[in-house]
Amino acid sequence: MPQVHFKENAASVVETLPDGTTVHRTCSAGIGCHNLGCGIKVHVKDGTITKIEGDEENPITQGRLCVRCLTALDYEYHEDRILYPMRRAREDRGLDRWERISWDEALDEIITRYQQTVEEYGIGAVSVWCGTGREASQIHFQMANDVFGTVNAVHPNSGWSCIVPRMAAMLWTMGSSYIEADNAIGFPDRYDDPRWECPKHMLIWGRDPLRSNPDGLFGHSIIDMMKRGMKLIVADPRVNWLATRAEVHLQLRPGTDAALALGLLNVVITEDLYDHDFVERWTYGFDQLAERVAEYPVDRVAGICEVDAEDIRTAARCIAERPSTLSMGLAVDQNPNTLQIGHALLSLFAITGNMDIPGGCFMGLPPIFAGMAENAPSEEEAGEPEGLAKFGNIGVEPLGHDRYPAMSAIVNTTHPDATLDVLETDVPYKIHFAYLFGHNSISCMVPQPKRWLEAMRKIDFVAAADLFMTPTLMGVADIVLPAATFFEKEGYVSNNNASQPGQLGAIIPCIEPEGECRADLEIMLELHRRLYPNSTKPGWASPSDFIDGQLSKMRGVDATYDDLCEHVVGQYEIEYKKYEKGLLRSDGAPGFNTPTGRIELYSTVLQRLGDDPLPYYLEPKFSKISRPDLAEDYPLTVTTGARRFTSFHSENRQIERLREIHRWPTALVHPATAQACGIEDGAWICVENQLGRVRMKAQVSPTVKEDVVACDHGWWLPEADAEDLFEVFEYNVNNLIPHEENGPLGFGTHYKSMPCRISVAE
Ligand SMILES: Nc1nc2c(c(=O)[nH]1)N[C@H]1C(S)=C(S)[C@@H](COP(=O)(O)OP(=O)(O)OC[C@H]3O[C@@H](n4cnc5c(=O)[nH]c(N)nc54)[C@H](O)[C@@H]3O)O[C@H]1N2
Ligand SMILES: Nc1nc2c(c(=O)[nH]1)N[C@H]1C(S)=C(S)[C@@H](COP(=O)(O)OP(=O)(O)OC[C@H]3O[C@@H](n4cnc5c(=O)[nH]c(N)nc54)[C@H](O)[C@@H]3O)O[C@H]1N2
Ligand code: SF4
Ligand SMILES: [Mo]
């Protein structure tokens, strides 16, 4: 069992400078980022932050910070921050008619409306919404259950197209939690540890970690490993910085990922480059996989993906050299073919013997993520959720799970797309109450945002907590609560909610909250206190109390919040070849945590869930091949959402220093295409398809394929008229993305491959 270990502090947690300034070491989390825990030093003078710098004592981030953390001061003290609870009449939704109220008034109203809803319509009418990766998302599922007593936790990202499909593929075919490229994250001396080996190659697939630092893989660790000799293979329709340094850049047609992955498998098998011993001892279904991949010869795949056949062969040969590692990104999820892309890529690294070896693909214990039943603490350990117990709806499924039962096996939210159907039709019942935190659906998360806005407006009462007024809050909220930043609250960070061991860090408050801001956790504890005044449940008295409870449920963690604060950050010990040692299965036997005990190249789980047990390719539903009729009007392909350094989804648009770097929503257009359409660099253009249109600034650049347009996501203009919802529908690229075009089991959608045309905007 990997344990968390702490390095003795070389620097004190709080240092006082001669002028009285105190310098606080803490972990950065969740304003303008996920809860990632980059080491940060905060200079405070007379209760005000004066300077921010990287914490070189942090063994993982070693002093590096991105531009969003470096400008966090501008965020903290921005004049637009919401500082007090506010209310507006229901008929004023969309209008800038807020009145300041007290916390008591706000909480009383939320509770009254909640209780009325439950009394009149039953607990099913209550919903709790959350976005990505902040403190709110750490506690989302539990608070929906424990405080609000509902199973209808909503995360409306179409097809749950963010990390969950990857996790499903990892869990169902490999029996593992998040499988990440081994970047020596758990060794105190990192890359110098003799147990670690530098990967020969890293395959980076639909991910841009230099900009995104996604869940557990910091971009800087890729650079560190490149300095030690690691070479890159990049599969991406765009030439990003890493692709310019790659041995092979597979510049595939958007959405054709599964075909490419099957082509790589084809080379490895036909050229006999696989690890026979590993395949024999540890995998299930190799012959069936070999038969399936025979349907994807390299020349066919090269045609589908518009990639050079020789490049596919070279890439496969590189990956077969051990150790090699895989970094899969969001493009894997944002595709209805998602489970098959994941399955094929993981199988590729499994049969080449790259799983769970030094410098290979690091496997994790089964996840404590999203309330997964198998790994959740027993009811006895956790205590019964008060809310659920009160309404006796334990076992009741979240909305949409009747149509997409596979969702229940991986995540405890409603099915995202089915949620819109329910809101629009009131079938099987109407939602009357919503609490939103850390979530900006209308600017960012949902496709067809106008439909969602209209549907959310049908909800009788909406309360929401955020740091800034957003198009979503302006559009639908009745009560707004001011949320605190990580400078102002207690908390913790852990990679992927501890499903993939990495670091565990403390969020240590260093200033008093601005105005009357409160942490999401504090707000939940207060609501719990008011709703269940007689509760004796341990862990609900204070944030640190609650965090202690969370930590005590984590495997390999024997620390309290105070212990964490003393050291700021801890690392998980790394253990390789866990499958040989009985460390991956709940029964302690050697092997993998799958029904056959082996890595399932032929997945008995997918078969049971009703999908093909072997990976296969699905042509994108609206592509020029599937829909030549659409291609006549919309000959180009739009891919969306490649991350920018200067924003986190819809956040940070208020920060002038960041807007100076990247001011407008931008579309990358190839020079040949720009010329054909009469578009000049920097021109405002209209990007449109059969579903809608959006305005973007053209950046004419040879970094995209000739017939591909790559658009920013998450745009709105805080400087625009609030009552025009900050012009969100002018600039939100999700106008072009379809509702409910998910894969067979309900996962993935077309955020990264839709048809479009472009023209100079009027
Ligand atoms: N700065 C910043 N960092 C972030 C975020 C942010 O908004 N801003 N968001 C966070 C979140 S929630 C997430 S999920 C992660 C995601 O972060 P990543 O996994 O890095 O994902 P993206 O940036 O969406 O896209 C990565 C790459 O996929 C490429 N791509 C586009 N279409 C396709 C395709 O069809 N196939 C393939 N193979 N590649 C394609 C893009 O060109 C891009 O280079 O980032 C997190 N980090
Ligand atoms: N076209 C397209 N659309 C996409 C994507 C794409 O690649 N392309 N990416 C998708 C992905 S992967 C994701 S995860 C979603 C993200 O979708 P969302 O999670 O809805 O997006 P955010 O903009 O991060 O919204 C978070 C909101 O929470 C607020 N906030 C920040 N910190 C806190 C906090 O501590 N407490 C509270 N209460 N509020 C806080 C922010 O101000 C912001 O308004 O977007 C998806 N949308
Ligand atoms: S990844 Fe960048 S923005 Fe995010 S916490 Fe780390 S330094 Fe800050
Ligand atoms: Mo995401």
Instruction: Kindly write down the DSSP assignment for every residue of 532-583, as one continuous string.
Output: -TT---TT-SSHHHHHHHHHHTSTT----HHHHHHHSEEEEPP-S-GGGTT-
Q: The tokens of 489 are what?
A: 């609250």
For the ranges 390-394, 692-696, 712-716, which has the lowest average pLDDT? 390-394
pLDDT digit string, tens, across residues 563-620: 999 999 999 888 899 999 988 887 788 999 899 999 999 999 999 999 999 999 999 9
pLDDT tier at 499, thresholds 50, 70, 90: low
Q: How far is the CA of 362 from the centre of ligand 1 (A)?
A: 21
3-state class (DSSP) for residue 762: coil
**Ligand 1 neighbourhood includes 649 CB (under 6 angstroms):** yes
**Ligand 3 neighbourhood includes 36 CB (under 6 angstroms):** yes
pLDDT digit string, tens, across residues 386-410: 666 666 654 578 899 999 989 888 8
Looking at ligand 3, which residue's alpha carbon is closest to its atom 1? 213
663/667 Cα distance (integer angstroms): 12
Q: How far is the CA of 759 from the centre of ligand 1 (A)?
A: 26
Model confidence at 75: pLDDT above 60: yes
Crossing angle for the helix pair 298-305 and 257-270, to the nearest 10 degrees = 160
Q: How far is the CA of 427 from the centre of ligand 2 (A)?
A: 28
CA distances, 647 to each of 69, 70, 240, 511, 642 (Å): 11, 12, 17, 24, 11
Looking at ligand 3, which residue's alpha carbon is closest to its atom 4? 33
Q: The tokens of 694 are what?
A: 């959006």
Nearest alpha carbon to residue 398 among 368, 418, 384, 378: 418
**Ligand 1 neighbourhood includes 650 CB (under 6 angstroms):** no
Nearest alpha carbon to residue 485 among 24, 32, 14, 23: 32
pLDDT digit string, tens, across residues 314-330: 999 999 999 999 999 99
Over residues 511-526, the mean pLDDT reads 98
415/390 Cα distance (integer angstroms): 24
Looking at ligand 3, which residue's alpha carbon is closest to its atom 2? 66
Which pLDDT value is given to residue 12?
A: 86
**Ligand 1 neighbourhood includes 256 CB (under 6 angstroms):** no
As a whole-number percent, the residues of the chain with pLDDT over 90 amount to 85
Over residues 697-719, the mean pLDDT reads 98
In this structure, the number of other CB atoms found within 10 A of the CB of residue 386 comes to 18
> Do 261 and 348 touch, CB atoms closer than 8 A?
yes
Model confidence at 9: pLDDT above 80: no
The atom of ligand 2 lying closest to the CA of 642 is 7
**Ligand 3 neighbourhood includes 69 CB (under 6 angstroms):** yes
Which pLDDT value is given to residue 370?
A: 34
Q: How far is the CA of 668 from the centre of ligand 4 (A)?
A: 21
CA distances, 597 to each of 283, 577, 603 (Å): 9, 14, 11
Q: Nearest ligand, CA of residue 30?
A: 2
**Ligand 1 neighbourhood includes 543 CB (under 6 angstroms):** no
142/34 Cα distance (integer angstroms): 19
The atom of ligand 3 lying closest to the CA of 65 is 7
pLDDT digit string, tens, across residues 195-232: 999 999 999 999 999 999 997 799 999 999 999 999 99
Q: How far is the CA of 371 from the centre of ligand 2 (A)?
A: 21
Contacts of 251 (CB under 8 A, 6+ apart): 236, 237, 238, 239, 243, 306, 307, 705
**Ligand 1 neighbourhood includes 131 CB (under 6 angstroms):** no
Q: The tokens of 69 are what?
A: 């953390």
Residue from 34, 38, 236, 262 whose mutation best tests the ligand 1 pocket (most atoms within 8 A of CB): 236
Residue from 138, 439, 648 whose mutation best tests the ligand 2 pocket (most atoms within 8 A of CB): 439
Residue from 213, 647, 655 whose mutation best tests the ligand 3 pocket (most atoms within 8 A of CB): 213
Which pLDDT value is given to residue 216?
A: 74
For residues 261 and 390, the model is more confident at 261
Cα torsion angle, 196, 202, 208, 211, sign = positive
pLDDT tier at 555, thresholds 50, 70, 90: confident
Which amino acid, residue 104? D
As a whole-number percent, the residues of the chain with pLDDT over 70 amount to 95
Q: Taking all residues of the chain, what is their mean pLDDT, rounded to a whole number?
A: 93
Looking at ligand 1, which residue's alpha carbon is closest to its atom 42? 238
| Greatest mean pLDDT among 392-401, 407-416, 716-725 | 716-725
Q: How far is the CA of 162 from the centre of ligand 2 (A)?
A: 11
**Ligand 1 neighbourhood includes 639 CB (under 6 angstroms):** yes
591/281 Cα distance (integer angstroms): 9
For residues 748 and 501, the model is more confident at 748
Model confidence at 371: pLDDT above 50: no
pLDDT tier at 372, thresholds 50, 70, 90: very low
Enumerate residues lining ligand 2, CB below 6 A: 30-31, 131-132, 134-136, 157, 162, 330, 437-441, 444-445, 465-468, 470, 483, 520, 640-641, 648-651, 713-714, 733-734, 737, 751
The atom of ligand 3 lying closest to the CA of 37 is 5
Q: How far is the CA of 330 from the centre of ligand 1 (A)?
A: 5
Over residues 170-188, the mean pLDDT reads 91
Looking at ligand 1, which residue's alpha carbon is closest to its atom 22? 642
Q: How far is the CA of 51 from the centre of ligand 3 (A)?
A: 16
Q: How far is the CA of 463 from the centre of ligand 1 (A)?
A: 30
Looking at ligand 3, which residue's alpha carbon is closest to its atom 8? 69
Q: Nearest ligand, CA of residue 332?
A: 1
3-state class (DSSP) for residue 630: helix
pLDDT digit string, tens, across residues 280-325: 999 999 999 999 999 999 999 999 999 999 999 999 999 999 999 9
pLDDT tier at 374, thresholds 50, 70, 90: very low
Which pLDDT value is given to residue 440?
A: 97
Q: How far is the CA of 219 from the centre of ligand 3 (A)?
A: 10
Model confidence at 269: pLDDT above 50: yes
Q: What are phi and psi of 479, to 5 degrees?
A: -125, 135
Over residues 29-44, the mean pLDDT reads 93
Model confidence at 368: pLDDT above 60: no
Over residues 132-148, the mean pLDDT reads 93
**Ligand 3 neighbourhood includes 754 CB (under 6 angstroms):** no
pLDDT digit string, tens, across residues 98-138: 999 999 999 999 999 999 999 999 999 999 999 999 999 99
Q: The tokens of 402 are what?
A: 């009747």
The atom of ligand 3 lying closest to the CA of 64 is 7
Which pLDDT value is given to residue 501?
A: 66
Which pLDDT value is given to residue 500?
A: 65
